[in-house]
Structure 1
Amino acid sequence: MQLHFRELGQGTPLVILHGLFGTSDNWQTLAKRWSTTHRVIVVDLRNHGRSPHTPEHSYELMSQDVLGLFDQLSLGPDVTLLGHSMGGKVAMRFALDHPARLARLVVMDIAPRLSDMGHQDDILAGLNAVNLATLQTRQEADTALAQHISNLGVRQFLLKNLYRQDDNTFAWRQNLAALTAHMPAIGAEITAPQPFLKPALFVRGGKSGYISTEDKLYGIPALFPNSQVETVVDAGHWLHAEKPDEVYALIAAFARS
């Protein structure tokens, strides 16, 4: 599968993988800042953005997709691979599968452990409540989402995936059917017989529960023994959107190390 990507700047490569229901667009602002010193490649993962939609969705497949992109662009072994949330698990899977292709790993607000995906139920209900066949305006879509999702910021994030097709009808950038069907796989634990021994940076939001103290002390070091965990104070799960200056500085310093 050929993934859609955008490329900015020159220098040692920094590859960025977005999270669930996201796209490469979510990282454009920070990508531009990092591109002053790096060759930044922002990627749409399968079933998201402008990358192909398929019925299958797993971390093994997404790791293979990223390997195909690395081969296409002749990347490695000096790459810094960054992933947020679901993209962070893809990045972990790739690092454990293909350690020789990376110099370092950055994981944003996700741990390798099994995730209960029940917290996505309202989002899935809202997205599936939007009737694309009869939808006339974005406001109608927001009204449908609001029946299940009270947070305006979350709704605005999700609505970035809504676009008009050539025939003027609406469609989602993400493959909603596949993501709905494979939600348990998106919460799957990342395991491996051998750890990733190169440097790894895990960045968690101070208001987020996605990386716990137990993850920091046991789960992460078991797979990534040469890792450090940094906390962005007063940030939630979307820490790169809430605290971009802090995230920019952390990754810029680590990618130079």
Structure 2
Amino acid sequence: MQQSSSSLYANVLGTGQPLIILHGFLGMSDNWKTLGMKYAEAGFEVHLLDQRNHGRSFHSSDFDYQIMAEDLHNYIHTNHIDSACILGHSMGGKTAMQFACDYFNHTTKLIVADIAPRFYPPHHHEILNGLQAIDLTQVKSRKGADEALSDYIKEPGIRQFLLKNLYRTEDKTFGFRCNLPVLANRMEEIGENIGSTDVYYGPTLFLRGDRSEYIQETDRANIKRHFPEAMIETVPNAGHWLHAENPMVFFEKSLAFLKS
């Protein structure tokens, strides 16, 4: 079932305990569809959300984690969800952390994928420059867009991920689903931290990729300060996109936590 409310677009899979999944920067709900179906088969009602300025959700010049946590609160209120498990990756992990701290009564469990509760300096310049350099008025195919992007992004997998944002408009030209101008202009917000005094006392799991530098040993004390009940586990053979690079282990570890 696909839903579109006044707040966020969602693809809802399965029935059971609500599990809300939040994608990362320049991602969308479709990135999680394969894993979402596995969680649904395991007995969860999975809500794959597009965050504001991403996917099929609305565009807005307002963009920070406090607002995105409010978006999520509006979504669960609109859809009569009392409490949910929240899983977020990267930017979505920051939204999930902020939501759990602000709306702990609506948070059953929290899973944060490869992001820590700290400030990260802006580091998406090359990606944003590459996307902005694609002349959508001249692009005739996805292959053409990929060739244009390859001048900036060498890894084919990252280009494929980014070009999921490309879609055919009603006049048959290409457009980006993400709100590229606002995201480029508000890039510093992506690295922002949750509130300095925010705490969530519920069950929490941080999953990090063993080849990623986003969660380091030096982050452990800060994670525990904001999330006293947090466990930190490592997914082997995975970088920052750990759910895509080693989905089997990511699913096993996250499901064990959700079912515990």
TM class by shorter chain equals: over 0.9
CA contact (8 A) 1:88 1:107 kept: yes
Task: Give 1:137 shift.
Answer: 1.7
TM-score, scaled relative to structure 2: 0.96
Letter aligned with residue 30 of structure 1: L
2:199 & 2:107 partners in 1: Cα distance?
14
SS of equivalent residue, structure 1 residue 231: strand
Structure 2 residue aligned with 1:169, among 144, 168, 173? 173
Per-residue CA deviation, residues 136-177 of structure 1 (Å, 9 max, x unaligned), is: 221221121111111111101111110111111100010000
Structure 1 residue aligned with 2:119, among 114, 117, 128? 114
> What residue in structure 2 maps to residue 28 of structure 1?
33
Structure 2 residue aligned with 1:210, among 188, 209, 214? 214
Are residue 234 (structure 1) and residue 237 (structure 2) matched?
yes
CA contact (8 A) 1:191 1:223 kept: no
Q: CA 1:181–1:40 in 2, change beyond 3 Å: closer, same or farther?
A: same
Per-residue CA deviation, residues 167-206 of structure 1 (Å, 9 max, x unaligned), is: 1110001000010011101100112434100010000000
2:248 & 2:144 partners in 1: Cα distance?
35
> What residue in structure 1 maps to residue 146 of structure 2?
142
1:194 & 1:172 partners in 2: Cα distance?
35
Gaps of 5+ in 1: none
SS of equivalent residue, structure 2 residue 21: strand
> What residue in structure 2 maps to residue 123 of structure 1?
127
Task: Give 1:103 shift.
Answer: 1.1
> What residue in structure 2 maps to residue 191 of structure 1?
195
> What residue in structure 2 maps to residue 45 of structure 1?
51
1:52 & 1:26 partners in 2: Cα distance?
18
Are residue 253 (structure 1) and residue 256 (structure 2) matched?
yes
Are residue 69 (structure 1) and residue 75 (structure 2) matched?
yes
Per-residue CA deviation, residues 4-57 of structure 1 (Å, 9 max, x unaligned), is: 001111111110000001000000001101102111110000000000011121
Q: List structure 1 runs of 4+ shifted beyond 4 angstroms.
A: none
Letter aligned with residue 53 of structure 2: N
1:9 & 1:173 partners in 2: Cα distance?
26
Per-residue CA deviation, residues 196-237 of structure 1 (Å, 9 max, x unaligned), is: 000100000000000010112x11001000000000011001
SS of equivalent residue, structure 1 residue 68: helix
2:175 & 2:89 partners in 1: Cα distance?
25
TM-score, scaled relative to structure 1: 0.97
2:25 & 2:128 partners in 1: Cα distance?
11
Letter aligned with residue 182 of structure 1: R
2:241 & 2:197 partners in 1: Cα distance?
31
Are residue 182 (structure 1) and residue 186 (structure 2) matched?
yes
Are residue 159 (structure 1) and residue 159 (structure 2) matched?
no
Q: CA 1:5–1:178 in 2, change beyond 3 Å: closer, same or farther?
A: same
Letter aligned with residue 77 of structure 2: D
> What residue in structure 2 maps to residue 10 of structure 1?
15
Letter aligned with residue 32 of structure 2: W
Gaps of 5+ in 2: 1-5
Relative to structure 2, which stretch is displaced further, 202-211 or 131-140? 131-140
Q: CA 1:151–1:194 in 2, change beyond 3 Å: closer, same or farther?
A: closer
1:66 & 1:168 partners in 2: Cα distance?
33
CA contact (8 A) 1:17 1:84 kept: yes
CA RMSD of aligned residues (A): 1.0
Task: Give 1:114 shift.
Answer: 0.2
Task: Give 1:133 shift.
Answer: 2.0
Letter aligned with residue 170 of structure 1: F
Letter aligned with residue 105 of structure 1: L
Task: Give 1:73 shift.
Answer: 1.3
